[in-house]
C-alpha cells in the first residue's frame, strides 16, 4: 500500500504523487484525500513518515483539530476545489439599426457584436460598479458609458448551465441582483471547477441615460472655482482687458448716466424731442469718440456718428424727401440759347408738314395697297357643364357636398328630405338669416358640418348663377 507514488488507483499512499495527480486529479475525483503539493526533493517528500507531512487532510484534522471543531468543518470544501478564480468574460452588445432612408417602411433590424475582454478577471471578488467598465472595455465603451451608483445599466449575465440559459438570462440592474447572480455562479463553480467563461449582454438602445458627460475644464488647485476664470461663464476678470477697452467701458457708463431714458433705457434726445435709441454698438462707437476727445459724455455725439445713424449731419434737421434732397420751390428760368432753339423748331414744323403732303401726292394711287379688313376678335367661350334644373338643384348640390366632405349617404339623404320639405335651396342656405342651430335641427348634421354646408353653398351658388347668366337662363 505504501510502495510507489500516490495515484488514483492507490489514493491512500502517503508518498506524494505527480504534480498532475496532486493538483488536478485528486481535487477533482478524491476531494477528501486532496493535500498540498510540495516541491520535489524536500524532506517532507523524501521522508513523509518522519516529517508527517504527506498525510491526508482527514488525518491532519483528526490529529490537530479538536472533536468539537471537526463537526463544524465537515462541510468545508478546500479552496482548490472551487475551481479557477479567474474567468474570461464574453461581452455582446445589441442595438436596433435605423433605416438610412427615412421614407422606407422596412422594420429596423436588431444587430449584435460579440467580443472577449482582453484579460481574465476575478469576477467573484468584483462589485457591479467595478465589473461594468471592465466588461465594456471589450468594445472600447468604458469611457462612453458609466455605471450608475444605485442601478443600471441593465445587463444579462449567463454561463454554461446557468438558470434560464443564455436566452432567459437574469437581468442585473442593481447591487442586490449582482450579489444573487454571483452567489449562484459560486455554487456552480463548486460542482464545475473547470467553468471559466461568463457571458454578458448589453442593450445599447437602453443605455442612453448612462452616457458619459464631458467634465468642465478648470485650473488645478485646492479649490479650482474659488478664483475668477479668464474665459467661461463666470464674471470676467478686468485684468484680461486692455487699458483702451477699460476706458471705453468707463465712457459708456458715463453716457448711460447722462442720457438715460425711462422709455428706452439710453437715448439721445435732440432739439425736436426725437428719441434716438442707443444699442450696444452705438454706445461703443460713442464711447470711442469720447475717449478720442471728439465729444464729451454729457454732450451730443459727433456729427459723423449722427450721419451714420440717421443719414443727416444734425439730429434736428428734417430728412430730405427723395434721393437728391428737397426740390426747389420754383423752376429755374430758361436761358437765351434755349429760347432760340425753341423758335427754330416751332418754325420748321409747318415746313416739314408741307413736304410730307407733296411727297404723298406724287405717289400713284395704285401703288398704295388697300388696308386688309380683319375680323373683329371674339372672346372664346370656355366649355363648361350646364347648370342643373331648378327642381334638381338641391339634389345635385347635396350629392356634391357628400362627395366633397365624405359624409355617409344615410345622413345626406335624411338632410336632403328635411331641406326639401322646408323648401330650402342652396342659395337660401348661405343667407345670414339662416342660423346654424336651425340647420342642425333640420339636417341632423354636426355643428362643424353645418358650417361646411353653408360655405359650400356659397361657392356652388356663385358658379351656378354664372352659368345661367352666360346662357341667358332665368333664375
Residue with cell string 434726445? 269
Is there a domain that residue 204 lies in?
A: yes
Indicate the Cα dihedral angle 446, 451, 452, 456, nearest 10°.
140
For residues 119 and 206, membership in a common domain is answered with yes
Given a cut of 90, whether residue 243 has pLDDT beyond it is no
Q: How large is the average pLDDT for residues 341-364?
A: 66
Residues 117 and 202 in one domain: yes
Q: Using 50, 70 and 90 to split pLDDT, how confident is the model at 443?
A: confident
Position 113 scores a pLDDT of 92
Average pLDDT (152-158) is: 91
Are residue 204 and residue 286 in the same domain, yes or no? no
User: H helices of 242-334, where?
Assistant: 243-258, 280-291, 303-310
In a domain, 355, yes or no: no
Taking residues 277-293, report their average pLDDT.
90
- Shared domain for 111 and 184, answered yes or no, is yes
At 365 the pLDDT is 52
In a domain, 145, yes or no: yes
Cross-strand bridge partners of residue 112 = 94
**In terms of domains, do 255 and 303 share one?**
yes
Picking from 285, 310, 335, the residue at the C-terminal end of a domain is: 310
Higher pLDDT, 73 or 173: 173
Long-range contacts of 287-296 (CB under 8 A, 24+ apart): 287/248, 287/249, 287/251, 287/252, 287/255, 288/248, 288/251, 290/251, 290/254, 290/255, 291/244, 291/247, 291/248, 291/251
β pairing state of 170-174 and 197-203: unpaired
pLDDT at res. 178: 92
- Whether 403 and 448 share a structural domain: yes
Q: pLDDT value at position 83?
A: 44
| Window from 43-52, 147-156, 325-334, 459-468 with minimum mean pLDDT | 325-334
Q: Please spell the DSSP secondary structure of 341-399, one letter per residue.
A: HHHHHHHHHHHHHHHHHHHHHTS-STTSPPPP-PPPP-PPPPP-PPPPPGGGHHHHHHH
Cell reading at 180? 444573487
Residues 67 and 94 both lie in one domain:
no
Phi and psi at residue 158, in whole multiples of 5°? -150, 165
What is the DSSP code (8-state) at residue 25?
A: I
Pairwise CA distance, residues 188 & 198, whole Å: 12
6 in a domain, yes or no?
no
In a domain, 323, yes or no: no
pLDDT tens-digit map of 250-277:
899 999 988 888 888 888 888 777 888 8
Q: Are 115 and 139 in contact (CB under 8 A)?
A: yes
Q: What number of residues does the chain have?
A: 475
Answer whether residue 303 is part of any domain: yes
Q: How confident is the model at residue 343 (pLDDT cuts 50, 70, 90)?
A: low
Question: Which residue among 279, 310, 341 closes a domain?
Answer: 310
Residue 23 and residue 75 share a domain: yes
Residues 6+ apart with CB under 8 A from 472: none
**pLDDT of the residue at 50:** 56
The secondary structure element, H or E, covering residue 88 is strand 88-97
Average pLDDT over residues 336-343: 59
Q: Say whether both 194 and 251 belong to one domain.
A: no
Residue 217 lies in a domain: no
pLDDT at 157: 93
CA-angle at 366, arms to 363 and 368, nearest 5°: 65
The Cα–Cα gap between 242 and 300 comes to 27
Residue 238 CA to residue 250 CA, distance in Å, equals 12
C-alpha cell at 280: 450696444
Percent of the residues in the chain that have a pLDDT greater than 90, as a whole number: 12
Question: Is 452 exposed, middle or buried, given 0-12, 13-18 or 19+ CB atoms closer than 10 A?
Answer: middle
Residue 235 covered by a domain: no
Phi-psi region of 376 (alpha: psi -120 to 50; beta: other; left: phi over 0): beta
- The total domain count for the chain is 4
Overall pTM surpassing 0.95 (yes/no): no
Percentage above 70 pLDDT, the chain: 68
Q: What average pLDDT does the structure give for the chain? A: 75
Q: Per-residue pLDDT tens for 87-141?
A: 899 999 998 887 777 677 777 788 889 999 988 999 888 999 999 999 999 999 9
Q: How confident is the model at residue 235 (pLDDT cuts 50, 70, 90)?
A: low
Q: Please, is 159 exposed, middle or buried when counting C-beta atoms within 10 Å of its C-beta (0-12, 13-18, 19+)?
A: buried
Residues 92 and 193 in one domain: yes
- Regarding whether 400 and 293 lie in a shared domain, the answer is no
Residue 331 has pLDDT above 60, yes or no: no
Which of 119-123, 235-239, 420-424 has the least mean pLDDT? 235-239
pLDDT band at residue 49 under the 50/70/90 scheme: low
111 and 203 co-located in one domain: yes
What does R_g of the chain's alpha carbons equal in angstroms?
52
Confidence of residue 65 (pLDDT cuts 50, 70, 90): very low
Domain span including residue 182: 88-98+107-210
**Domain end among 210, 225, 258:** 210
> What is the band of 46 on the pLDDT scale with cuts at 50, 70, 90?
low
Amino acid at each position: 500500500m505504501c510502495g510507489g507514488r500516490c495515484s488514483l488507483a492507490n489514493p491512500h499512499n502517503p508518498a506524494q504523487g505527480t504534480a498532475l495527480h496532486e493538483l488536478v486529479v485528486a481535487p477533482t475525483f478524491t476531494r477528501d484525500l486532496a493535500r498540498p503539493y510540495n516541491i520535489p526533493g524536500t524532506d517532507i517528500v523524501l521522508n513523509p513518515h518522519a516529517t508527517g507531512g504527506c498525510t491526508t487532510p482527514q488525518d491532519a484534522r483528526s490529529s490537530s483539530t479538536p472533536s468539537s471543531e471537526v463537526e463544524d468543518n465537515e462541510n468545508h470544501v478546500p479552496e482548490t476545489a472551487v475551481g479557477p478564480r479567474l474567468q474570461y468574460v464574453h461581452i455582446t452588445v445589441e442595438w436596433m439599426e435605423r433605416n438610412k432612408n427615412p421614407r422606407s417602411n422596412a422594420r429596423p433590424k436588431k444587430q449584435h457584436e460579440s467580443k472577449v475582454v482582453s484579460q481574465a478577471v476575478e469576477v467573484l471578488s468584483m462589485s457591479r460598479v467595478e465589473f461594468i467598465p471592465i466588461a465594456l472595455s471589450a468594445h472600447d465603451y468604458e469611457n462612453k458609458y458609466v455605471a450608475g451608483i444605485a442601478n443600471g445599466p441593465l445587463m444579462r449575465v449567463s454561463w454554461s448551465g446557468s438558470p434560464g440559459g443564455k436566452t432567459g438570462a437574469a437581468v442585473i440592474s442593481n447591487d442586490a441582483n449582482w450579489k444573487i447572480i454571483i452567489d449562484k455562479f459560486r455554487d456552480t463553480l463548486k460542482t464545475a471547477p473547470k467553468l471559466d467563461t461568463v457571458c454578458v449582454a448589453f442593450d445599447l438602445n437602453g443605455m442612453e441615460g448612462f452616457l458619459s458627460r464631458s467634465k468642465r475644464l478648470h485650473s488645478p488647485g485646492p479649490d479650482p472655482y474659488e478664483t475668477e476664470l479668464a474665459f467661461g461663464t463666470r464674471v470676467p476678470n478686468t485684468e484680461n482687458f486692455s487699458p483702451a477697452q477699460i476706458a471705453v467701458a468707463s465712457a459708456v457708463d458715463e453716457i448711460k448716466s447722462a442720457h438715460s431714458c425711462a422709455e428706452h433705457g439710453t437715448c439721445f434726445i435732440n432739439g425736436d424731442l426725437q428719441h434716438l435709441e442707443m444699442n450696444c454698438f452705438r454706445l461703443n462707437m460713442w464711447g470711442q469718440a469720447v475717449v478720442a476727445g471728439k465729444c464729451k459724455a454729457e454732450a451730443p455725439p459727433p456729427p459723423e456718428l449722427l450721419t451714420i445713424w440717421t443719414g443727416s449731419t444734425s439730429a434736428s434737421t428734417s430728412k430730405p424727401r427723395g434721393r437728391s434732397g428737397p426740390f426747389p420751390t420754383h423752376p429755374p428760368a430758361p436761358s437765351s440759347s434755349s429760347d432760340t432753339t425753341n423758335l427754330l423748331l416751332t418754325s420748321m414744323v409747318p415746313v416739314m408738314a408741307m413736304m410730307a403732303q407733296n411727297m404723298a401726292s406724287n405717289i400713284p394711287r395704285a401703288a398704295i395697297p388697300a388696308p386688309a379688313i380683319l375680323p373683329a376678335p371674339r372672346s372664346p367661350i370656355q366649355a363648361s357643364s350646364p347648370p342643373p334644373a331648378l327642381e334638381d338643384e338641391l339634389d345635385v348640390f347635396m350629392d356634391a357636398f357628400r362627395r366633397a366632405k365624405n359624409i355617409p349617404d344615410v345622413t345626406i339623404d335624411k338632410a336632403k328630405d328635411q331641406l326639401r320639405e322646408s323648401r330650402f335651396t342652396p342659395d337660401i342656405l348661405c343667407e345670414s338669416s339662416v342660423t346654424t342651430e336651425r340647420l342642425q335641427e333640420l339636417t341632423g348634421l354636426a355643428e362643424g358640418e353645418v358650417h361646411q354646408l353653408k360655405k359650400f353653398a356659397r361657392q356652388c351658388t356663385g358658379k351656378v348663377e354664372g352659368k345661367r347668366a352666360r346662357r341667358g337662363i332665368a333664375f
